[in-house]
Structure 1
């Protein structure tokens, strides 16, 4: 599984500002889990597009890298319901 970065497509919460400064307590929920090839020259940064063709610019790398073990999922088991079916199908083809 080397060369694959798991990325999260996030739901951006509406900022709840009560004054100046950063929004506190706002955390974006994961909308969809995608797979992306690593950017050239790195093993930790995703390339510009996911395997399904979405732009990774506004996505965040998942905190857990793919295990690389044969037969294990490329995504965190707790995120199974959020996995992009197109990325999953592309990963099955590799």
Structure 2
């Protein structure tokens, strides 16, 4: 497997008021391969098959953190179980 990018699926709740400039809450944390021939861009689908178009890429790169989980620890409770299963193999 090539380079992996961590992406956040953000909460889309319309009823939730988020102040301008504030970050929307992260709904789920996914892993996605980089785009073909563009190692700095996220590929079109996560490892679980979701479209990455509306997701937010993070600066966290699993390859830069050997010996740790593939996701930032503060988001452990929101990790996609399907992406996690693929990353474990």
TM-score, normalising length: structure 2: 0.82
Greater Rg, structure 1 or structure 2? 1
Task: Note the aligned Cα RMSD (angstroms).
Answer: 2.1
Whether 1:62 aligns to 2:77 is no
Residue segments in structure 2 that go unaligned for 5+ positions in a row: none
Deviations, residues 55-78 of structure 1 (Å, cap 9, x unaligned): 000001012222351x31000011
2:33 aligned residue: 37
Aligned residues: 86
**TM-score relative to the length of structure 1:** 0.79
Q: Is the 8 A contact 2:5 2:60 kept in 1?
A: no
1:72 is matched with which residue: 68, 71, 74?
68
Query: What residue ranges of structure 1 are gaps of 5+ in the alignment?
Result: 17-22
- Secondary structure of 2:40's aligned partner: coil
Measure the CA separation in 1 of the matches of 2:43 and 2:60: 17
Deviation for aligned residue 1:26: 4.3
Structure 1 stretches of 4+ with a deviation exceeding 6 A read: none
Q: Matches of 1:29 and 1:88 in 2, distance apart? A: 20
- Of Structure 1 and Structure 2, which has the larger fraction of its residues in strand? 2
Structure 1 pair 54–41 and aligned structure 2 pair: CA distance change class (3 A): same
